[in-house]
Amino acid sequence: MRSTRARALAPWLVGLVATTAGVWAAITWQYAQPPLRGHEASDPATSLVAALLRLLATFAGLATLASLAGVVLTARRGTGRRAQLGEPALDRMATARHRAVGWAAASLALVPFDAADTSGLAVTVALPNLRDFLLSTQTTQAWLLTAVVAFVLSCVVPFVRTWPTAVLLLVVGVLVQLPTVVTAQVSVGAGHDLATDAAVVMTLAVAAWSASALALPRRPDADVLRRHHRLAGLALLVALPSRVLIGVFEMAGESWLAPGYGASVLVAVGLLVLLALGWLLRSRLLVSSRPVPAVRLVTVEAVLLVLLAGVSVVQSQLVPPRFRVPQTSQQNFLGYEVPAPPSWESLLLPGRVNLLLLLLAVAMVGLYLLGVRRLHRRGDTWPRGRTAAWLGGWAMVAYVSVSQVWQYASTTFSWHMVLHMALNMGAPALLVLAGPITLLLRARASARRGQLLSLRDAVTAGLGARALHVLGHPILIWALFVGSFYLLYLTGLFDVVMKYHWSHQLMNIHFLLVGALYYQVAIGVDSPGRPIPHVAKLGYILAAMPFHAFFAVAVLNSAEIGAGYYTGLDLTWAPDLAADQQVGGQLAWGLGELPLIGVTIALLAQWFGSEERAARRFDRATSAGHDTSLDAYNEMLAELARRERAQPDGKRPDGERVDGEQPVARSGGSGGEAAR
């Protein structure tokens, strides 16, 4: 018991001691250097408290993720249908709740100190004006958001009883690591667009990897160990090159051997190199069926990952060399210079790379092809048209990510509309025709009793979740798809979103997801949560067309959209904003209607094909004698004929004469007497 507890505490104790010493050394060294302009009034005590609170918040966040990962990665299929959590898992969830409370408390306590430290002031100056600092400091807003999400997690965790819900909470916990990263050092200076994208993928990979390493039991079985090993390999493949790219950005051409920030970058990269060597060694041990040394390596791995998290805390107290390099307005907003105006020939030329979208496209294509390959190796088939649709959709995303479309989409409204239409209306229409969820369900088998629960089990449970059934209502999706245009461009939100690379990328992801949700209802080949008939789908598409046209008209007739942002770019070739907006409105109208028309044609083709398949099934059933509906109809006609023949004088059972004469009454009375 003691050895188990010591193994669990070792990474945290080593990380706490090493990071605290590193923070002290970093603050001591940094305050001996010339201060940044505007930071002459920095307070060492405020910096120290801010760093220690940041350390506690970071470690508490990792500990929370570790508790959740311990539930998610080690759960096995039981006898129940809903993957209920057992007592050990519920104990871990209780631990996650306590850790989430600590995470929220440390993050909230950090808010005033981070506001003061980031602004180069003492906390006594920031506290009386905390509201103003909150409105003007991104990192402070990020920590406040982290505190809120951590508190919500602590409130929700006690009510979790199923494995899929635990998976959802783990995903939320990993994602909430991003705000404090994308608003930190990587968001400033020339090249910050690439550095921010690299930081996003690295943070997600390392957070999931760290949670898995810290969550492994003392003696994990072979299945759990192999699952962790695969996760670690994927994370390492992403994290090491990303960390190198970020280091190149932060050092801004200075030597990595320089004291201060250079040393911290070397330590971070060195830790990842050691982790890579450990992963290779564990691979050999697993191949040679030596699990005990492989498990011991996981303990070392956990220590190194906690130290890597500590390095990020230390770096928050150091000034990157990039901060001392003068930057232009374009570099401040975009991360790069755009010296010449765009031309339509630019559509064919390579330009500034959108690293995040490009990596997303490559990953999605790779995963899809792996699924198809798995089916083929099993002897199953997969429609080539679906594969072509998937490749075509992500090829469109990759194209706008590496061509000058992305480069100029951040500088002019007209080119932004080209990007918007491609991500929101072009690529998603192809992607939903590929049936990725169907492929996943066919390529991966559900866990049997006693086996580890897998991604397929999580997806299957998610598709049947009541919350998804409500949130996936076609009316809500339609309102989100149509309303996003008006909310973003006609409320002033666009001007704010475009000023930061992270929010610009969030907008791009939003375009892609909302477009996919909308087209999934209309023409998606995956089974929807709320199936609707084809005639309703046709109305679903046609109902969006006038609202899209109204939006284009509103753009053509509204005041200059994003004027503050575009003016702040200080382009030497800046176009007339009103004229460029007119072009953007026309593009929104034309490029938006074309995909909707194409989707309508695709829907009609699906409708015709569905009716044709139904007719063929009916014919086959009739020919084989399995369909009795026609026989029943013929028997009904024969019975009517027999009943007619059985009536005297050609009368039917209802009293009406076959030859067209007026019916006669069946009983006596005045009517009967009159007839006689």
pLDDT digit string (tens) for 349-400?
898 999 999 999 999 999 999 999 999 998 889 999 999 999 999 999 999 9
pLDDT of residue 76: 80
**111: closest CA among 176, 46, 207?**
46
pLDDT of residue 545: 83
State the DSSP code for 527.
P
Distance CA 642, CA 657 (A): 15
CB atoms within 10 A of CB 179: 19
How many percent of the chain have pLDDT more than 90? 52
Q: Which residues pair with 215 in a beta bridge?
A: none
Helix residue spans in 316-435 (DSSP H): 329-333, 355-377, 384-402, 404-409, 413-421, 427-431
State the DSSP code for 83.
-
What is the Cα Rg of the chain in Å? 32
pLDDT higher than 90, residue 53 = yes
State the DSSP code for 162.
B
pLDDT of residue 676: 32
pLDDT higher than 60, residue 657 = no
Can you tell me the mean pLDDT for 339-353? 85
> 608 pLDDT band (50/70/90 cuts)?
confident
For residue 510 the two structure tokens come to 């939003």
Residue 63's alpha-carbon distances to 234, 605, 638, in angstroms, are 21, 52, 78
CB atoms within 10 A of CB 617: 12
The helix/strand count (H/E) of the chain reads as 29, 0
pLDDT of residue 364: 96
Distance CA 571, CA 337 (A): 9
Among the residue ranges 5-14, 16-25, 106-115, 490-499, the one predicted with the least confidence is 5-14
Q: Is 210 in contact with 62 (CB distance < 8 Å)?
A: yes
Position with higher pLDDT, 108 vs 87: 108
pLDDT of residue 216: 84
Can you tell me the mean pLDDT for 426-436? 93
Q: Is 420 in contact with 481 (CB distance < 8 Å)?
A: no
Q: Is 446 in contact with 457 (CB distance < 8 Å)?
A: yes
Q: Name, of 100-104, 162-166, 452-456, 537-541, the range with top average pLDDT.
A: 100-104
| Overall size of the chain counted in residues | 676
Amino acid identity, residue 648? P
Place of tokens 């770096």: 315
Among the residue ranges 51-55, 432-436, 622-626, the one predicted with the least confidence is 622-626
Distance CA 31, CA 433 (A): 58
> 136 pLDDT band (50/70/90 cuts)?
confident
For residue 474 the two structure tokens come to 């076609």
pLDDT higher than 80, residue 664 = no
Q: Is 304 in contact with 14 (CB distance < 8 Å)?
A: no
pTM strictly above 0.85:
yes
**181: closest CA among 232, 214, 147, 138?**
138
Burial class, 304, CB count within 10 angstroms (exposed 0-12 / middle 13-18 / buried 19+): buried
Q: Which residues pair with 416 in a beta bridge?
A: none
Position with higher pLDDT, 596 vs 124: 124
For residue 179 the two structure tokens come to 């705000």
Amino acid identity, residue 634? N
pLDDT, tens digit, 9 for 90 and up, residues 568-592: 999 988 888 999 999 999 988 888 7
The per-residue pLDDT of the chain, averaged, comes to 86
pLDDT of residue 666: 41
Can you tell me the mean pLDDT for 102-110? 97
